[in-house]
Structure 1
Amino acid sequence: MKQLLLDIAPPAQPTLANFVPGRNTELLQTVSNILVGREDERFVYLWGGLGCGRSHLLRGVAGACARNKLNTAFFACDENTHFVDGSEADCVIVDDVDRLDAEAQIGMFNLYNHIRDEGRAFLLVSGPAAPVQLKLREDLVTRLGWGLVYQVHELTDEEKMEAMKSHAISRGLDLSQEVCEYLLRHERRDLPSLIGTLDALDSYSLANQRKVTVPLVRELLQAAS
């Protein structure tokens, strides 16, 4: 057998352009409006379960800010997170706020107040649940609920299949419904992983001069496991 292209392509760099909104159209539009100054709200909290796309959206916002030459502070929270006052930032992004320890929660509370008083930066925060359900200090929970709060809805299977087919068309790949359904049953179900697998399948099918069918998908995934 030819050398298999087993390095399943890593997910594409998260951007706002490749974020598939599904039921999150209003959220995406609001964030886009804030970035171009068409929305006055400067505090946004996003919540949703694993695989819903909230981290993708946050990193997409960070990338958009960088391209617009805005000073951006991005915090992927863990037990070592330490906040500065954010006085130099135009955009402050805090992912997985629920992971902050007690000291960092105080820092986050002070950062929120500083941004509110400074009146300049945009603060975008995410967590796995609505603010009132977070196990954080009460005054911080209150602050997180003051601005806009959006649930990030995971794509339905139908929306994921439409996104896969759209991506396949952009690569000139003929992708059947049967293959889409097989990938949803047997692969990681988050969209970036599915798209990465599609890219690898495209390369593998070209290298082997074979159509992308369920047997070909099964062959690649079994060899890569």
Structure 2
Amino acid sequence: MNEKTSTPVQLSLGVSLREETTFANFLGAVGSNAQPVAALQQFAANEGEQNVLVWGAPGSGLTHLLQAVCHRAYEHGLAVQYLPLQDMVGYDAQSICDGLEQMQVVCLDGIDHICGIKSWEQGVFHLYNNLRDAGHRLLIASHTSPPALPLTLPDLKSRVLGSVRYHVESLNDLQKQDALIARAVARGMDMPVEVARFILNRASRDTNELFYLLDQLDDASLQKQRKLTVPFAKEVLNL
């Protein structure tokens, strides 16, 4: 996205942000996660540390947090760029990374996906250096503990381990239940506790998957003008 435009600008590769991925909608900002969320809010305001890495298990909300940082940074008038590395590895690393240091905030989602790919490791290493020299910021997300990342470029591994690191804990089942209900309410739906509990007992514990199922329920409920009940959820979600 560009700081001189009033609306987000998508890359030609089709990278964009989801509207709902804001700090206000992140329901995992509880307990030990309060500190990393506060640090990321400060980071998005162009304050605090220049290089930050967040890590946690799949479904812990890392993608949501990185996109929330981009939304918040954009609100502060900063030039920002979000890159989901899982979708980028098929492209030439140099063509993607060159010039990114012009962005004031760069968020790389899923550094795990470039480990062992020489061109990408070199591209991210140079990006670290170029952003540092420009006085700009880099935020990286990893589903692997930073010391355990199988990076083959020692200089990049050193940069990664030299970043300020925060661990984002996954929600427990009760918190996920509350998150489902809160997200449903935000969409204008009334989700009884028994429906949320039914979904949690039958579906994946991954919050991304749970919210995807909620999207399906929302669409079906609007189309059929039905309230959320356990039989309706079972019918729509095939659980």
Q: Give the TM bin, normalised by the shorter chain.
A: 0.7 to 0.9
**TM-score, normalised relative to structure 1:** 0.81
Shift in Å at residue 116 of structure 1?
2.3
Q: Which has the higher contact order (CA 8 A, sep 6+)?
A: 1
- Given the superposition, is the C-alpha separation of residues 33 and 220 from structure 1 closer, same or farther in structure 2, using an over 3 Å criterion? same
Shift in Å at residue 218 of structure 1?
0.9
- Given the superposition, is the C-alpha separation of residues 35 and 167 from structure 1 closer, same or farther in structure 2, using an over 3 Å criterion? same
Q: Which residue of 2 aligns with 1:44?
A: 52
Shift in Å at residue 150 of structure 1?
1.1
Residue among 162, 173, 191 paired with 1:175: 191
Shift in Å at residue 200 of structure 1?
4.2
Q: Equivalent pairs: percent with the same residue?
A: 31
Deviations 1:36-91 (A, max 9, x none): 24x42111011122211111111221222233332123222224233225331100
Q: Which residue of 2 aligns with 1:88?
A: 102
Q: How does 1:131-170 map to 2 (within 5 A)?
A: 131-136=146-151, 137-170=153-186
**Cα RMSD between the aligned structures?**
2.4
Structure 2 residue identity aligned to 1:190: D
Deviations 1:109-165 (A, max 9, x none): 1221222233x2111011221221111122211111212101121111111111122
Residue among 35, 42, 57 paired with 1:33: 42
Query: Does the Cα contact within 8 Å between 1:165 and 1:175 map onto a contact in 2?
Result: yes
What SS does the aligned partner of 1:87 have?
helix
Structure 1 residue identity aligned to 2:198: Y
Distance 2:122 2:208 in 1: 34
**TM-score, normalised relative to structure 2:** 0.77
Deviations 1:203-225 (A, max 9, x none): 54465554422111111223xx9
What SS does the aligned partner of 1:145 have?
helix
Residue among 197, 220, 223 paired with 2:236: 220
Structure 1 residue identity aligned to 2:44: L
Which stretch shifts more, 182-191 or 48-57? 182-191
Shift in Å at residue 195 of structure 1?
3.5
Q: Which residue of 2 aligns with 1:125?
A: 140
Note the residue ranges of structure 2 that are not aligned, 5 or more in a row: 1-17
Q: Which residue of 2 aligns with 1:15?
A: 22
Note the residue ranges of structure 1 that are not aligned, 5 or more in a row: 1-10
